[in-house]
Amino acid sequence: MKQVTIYDIAKEAKVSAATVSRVLNNTAPVKESTRSKIMQIIHKYQFQPNALARSLLKKETGTIGVIMPDITNPFFPEVFSGIDRAASEMGYTFFLCDTLGDTRKESQYLHMLREKQVDGILFLGGRINLSKCDPELAEEVVETASRIPTVLINGNLPGTSLHRVILNEAKGAEMATQFLIDAGHRSIAFIAGNEEMTTTAQKVRAFRRVMKKNGLEAAKDSVLYGDYSMASGESSMEKILARRERPTAVFCVNDLTAVGALKAAMKAGVSVPDEVSVIGFDDIPLASAIYPELTTVSQRMDLLGGTGVQVLHKMILKEKVKMLTVIEPELVVRNSTRNLR
């Protein structure tokens, strides 16, 4: 049976959850007739607010701010879903703040979230993904984190010590590159994102490292920079296909870019995976919804978001929690890659 929450009690009594809370915790006077109606419903369901719900109702606001750079990139809504699902039992509501990666908007949101007295902040993207972050911007996050529990998801601010939950992106890029090499590919291109962002920089380094380890050359032009969008994947793939010597496989910094790359190949009449293999990164729902279904590296977005909010929840309850939690990526082999052996 589904557990009864104070929201159910409130609904049935036709009062607000705050009123139910007042009755339960005796924190403020409630009209006698209302109180007795609420108590009847509480007895009817043998409702017992748990310690957590009690703490939420008594002390905290029950809201968490989630700062992310681009909700039109499906990776972020998926992480948010993971956060939401994992936290549904905890009774939090979430304010999602879309920053467009604009550090000024990030500052505004940090300011607003403090003003609104959220219980905690989950920070994704933007300044925490810059290879070189302005010390003032880093300091702003440190300052906020000293007042409000804050967790960085998939990011870092060098020189600071903040709680972080990350997917091992370098490892994921190594897995993808090694998978292609093991399948017999010798000439591999990498469609990357912005050069100054760690999510690209880490993967590019891992790609070059694995190529070298296998005695293969990753020529300078084997890495094409872009901006993580489908359009960027399409135009990079067009450039690759126009080359006199085409690679037999293309590794893409994320699935959106890979979808764009697939489109460019189809438009050019180049068969995937028969003539060129394509591998993505993230495993957004789209990856398995297109044809051919995309081989990719799963960022386990559900687990990433869920772990982030669990770490934050412990911090809010002042429990001990590790500074760094690392989630391991998974290779998901589908139909966009071909074994040449």
Contact residues: its own copies, CB under 8 A: 7, 11, 14, 16-18, 61-63, 71-72, 74, 77-78, 80-81, 84, 93-98, 100, 104-105, 107-109, 111-112, 115-116, 136, 230-231, 234, 259-260, 262-263, 266-267, 285-286, 289-291
Compare residues 112 and 333 and give the one whose CB is closer to its own copies.
112
Closer to its own copies by Cβ: residue 95 or 225 = 95
- Beta bridge partners, 63, equal 93
**Residue 234 Cβ vs its own copies, minimum distance, rounded to whole Å:** 7
Q: Count of CB atoms within 10 A of residue 142's CB? A: 15
| Nearest-approach distance from CB 63 to its own copies, in angstroms | 6
Structure tokens at 339: 């074994």
The CB-of-144 to its own copies minimum distance in angstroms stands at 12
Residue 112 or 219: the one with the smaller Cβ distance to its own copies is 112
Helix, coil or strand: residue 92 = coil
Give the nearer residue to its own copies in terms of CB position, either 134 or 195.
Answer: 134
Q: Minimum Å distance from CB 150 to its own copies? A: 17
**Dihedral over Cα of 14, 19, 21, 23: its sign:** negative
Least distance from its own copies to the Cβ atom of residue 67, Å: 11
User: 138 or 181: whose CB is closer to its own copies?
Assistant: 138
- 156: exposed, middle or buried (Cβ count in 10 Å: 0-12, 13-18, 19+): middle
Query: Least Å distance between CB 104 and its own copies?
Result: 6
- Rounded Cα distance between 312 and 306, Å, is 10
Compute the least distance from the CB of residue 79 to its own copies, in Å: 10
Three-class SS state of 9 = helix
> Which residue number, 23 or 210, has a Cβ lying nearer to its own copies?
23
Measured torsion, CA atoms of residues 103, 307, 321, 68, in degrees rounded to the nearest 10? 10
Radius of gyration of the chain (CA): 24
Rounded to 5°, angle at Cα 320 from 106 and 314: 55
Between 84 and 169, CB nearer to its own copies: 84
What is the DSSP-derived secondary structure letter of residue 94? E
Pair 193, 163: CB distance under 8 Å: no
Output b/e per residue, 76-85; b: 16+ Cβ within 10 A: bbbbbebbbe
Name the token pair of 246: 């085409």
Query: Using CB atoms within 10 A of its CB, is residue 159 exposed (0-12), middle (13-18) or buried (19+)?
Result: exposed
Taking the least distance from each CB to its own copies, the nearer of 206 and 301 is 301
- Smallest distance from its own copies to CB 35, Å: 20
Decide whether 36 or 117 has the Cβ nearer to its own copies: 117
Strands 277-279 and 163-167: unpaired
Q: Is the dihedral angle over the CA atoms 74, 246, 183, 177 positive or is it negative?
A: negative
Helix residue ranges, H only, the chain: 6-13, 17-25, 32-44, 51-58, 75-87, 103-115, 135-145, 169-182, 198-213, 230-241, 255-267, 285-289, 301-316
Quote the least distance from Cβ 116 to its own copies, whole Å: 5
